[in-house]
Amino acid sequence: MTEMRTTVFTPTQIHLLKMFQYMKTEEDLEELKNLLFHYYSKKMDERFDELWDAGILDQKRLDEINEMDLHQLN
């Protein structure tokens, strides 16, 4: 017998699922993907600025990261 599990959605997930019913076309999907990309890019830039200002991130560390194969970081 297979065990059944209950998935509990967060309020954010529920809200997004409700909103997705209005997205009908590929253009809608592309617009959403673009919006999310820019949202998370901005968040990442803000976090990098915080790390830079705190002295945790500097040009030497950025150069090290640039040389890493990030696909192998699991």
pLDDT tens for 7-45 read 899 999 999 999 888 899 999 999 999 999 999 999 999
| Secondary structure of residue 2 in the 3-state scheme | coil
pLDDT reported for residue 1? 64
2 versus 56: which is more confidently predicted? 56
- The neighbour count for residue 56, using CB atoms within 10 Å, is 10
- The neighbour count for residue 33, using CB atoms within 10 Å, is 10
